[in-house]
């Protein structure tokens, strides 16, 4: 598949994993799940993390950033396929979340779409070659706000690693070429500020940046 990061047209389904890092589950007062917690976003939520400014709703309470490793299926999932064969690219992305809206939806037992699937809620950095499961665990990923590290994670801390996620999603919902998975966020999520800039780092190298405009 193309490695042109502006080509989001090739992306089919966006799967996201909730609470896949223990410390993040606990920081929001949630239980650590016993099986992967999967939700989806519309592809219309995608926005390239290429330094641009993204406009987001500023009148619905806090919008939290969640930095995540994003994996792309380069071929169709089939039973028994290894993650190293299935995924062909990775990126860092932000699973932006209207946290106050989400809290109300949770109380009512309603779906998360309004909190997780709004326009601009899925910033995505440039594709990088998939380094394999072993390679993923060798590098840290982090989110810089100004000069400060807001989040720091490592794939080895995932509760459900990519091979388990692929089997879970593929066998239940289908996982085919062009589908992507936001694999969950480590601890350190917080509310976005109007006018701030964010930079994602993979192994110490810039892997996407964005500036924030909150529309009131
Ligand atoms: Zn997330």
Question: Mind listing the pLDDT tens digit for each residue in 168-205?
Answer: 999 999 999 999 999 999 999 999 999 999 999 999 99
pLDDT tens for residues 82-96?
A: 999 999 999 999 999
Cβ pair 33, 19 in contact under 8 A: yes
Distance from the alpha carbon of residue 24 to the mean position of ligand 1, in angstroms:
10
Give the integer Cα–Cα distance in Å for 82 and 129.
16
Q: What is the pTM of this model?
A: 0.95
Element (H, E) at 33: none
CA-based end-to-end distance of the chain: 39
Give the integer Cα–Cα distance in Å for 13 and 180.
6
Give the integer Cα–Cα distance in Å for 79 and 62.
40
Distance from the alpha carbon of residue 78 to the mean position of ligand 1, in angstroms:
25
| 3-state secondary structure at position 157 | helix
Distance from the alpha carbon of residue 17 to the mean position of ligand 1, in angstroms:
6
Sequence-separated (6 or more) residues with CB below 8 Å from residue 75? 81, 85, 86, 88, 177
Q: Return the residue matching tokens 């990088």.
A: 128
Distance from the alpha carbon of residue 68 to the mean position of ligand 1, in angstroms:
7
Q: Return the residue matching tokens 């909730």.
A: 18
Confidence of residue 7 (pLDDT cuts 50, 70, 90): low
């Amino acid at each position: 598949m193309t490695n042109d990061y502006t080509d989001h047209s090739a992306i089919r389904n966006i799967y996201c994993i909730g609470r896949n890092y223990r410390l993040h589950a606990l920081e929001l007062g949630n239980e650590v799940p016993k099986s992967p917690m999967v939700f989806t976003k519309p592809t219309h939520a995608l926005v390239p993390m290429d330094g641009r400014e993204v406009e987001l709703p500023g009148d619905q309470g806090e919008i939290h950033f969640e930095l995540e490793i994003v994996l792309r299926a380069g071929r169709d999932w089939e039973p028994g396929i290894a993650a190293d064969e299935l995924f062909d690219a990775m990126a860092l992305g932000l699973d932006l979340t209207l946290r106050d809206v989400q809290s109300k939806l949770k109380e009512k037992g309603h779906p998360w779409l309004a909190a997780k699937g709004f326009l601009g809620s899925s910033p995505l950095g440039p594709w990088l070659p998939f380094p394999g499961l072993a390679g993923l665990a060798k590098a840290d990923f982090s989110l810089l706000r100004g000069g400060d590290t807001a989040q720091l994670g490592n794939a080895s801390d995932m509760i459900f690693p990519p091979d388990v996620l692929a089997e879970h999603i593929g066998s239940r919902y289908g996982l085919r070429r062009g589908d992507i998975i936001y694999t969950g966020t480590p601890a350190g999520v917080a509310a976005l500020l109007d006018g701030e800039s964010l930079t994602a780092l993979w192994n110490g190298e810039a892997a996407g940046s964005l500036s924030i405009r909150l529309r009131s």
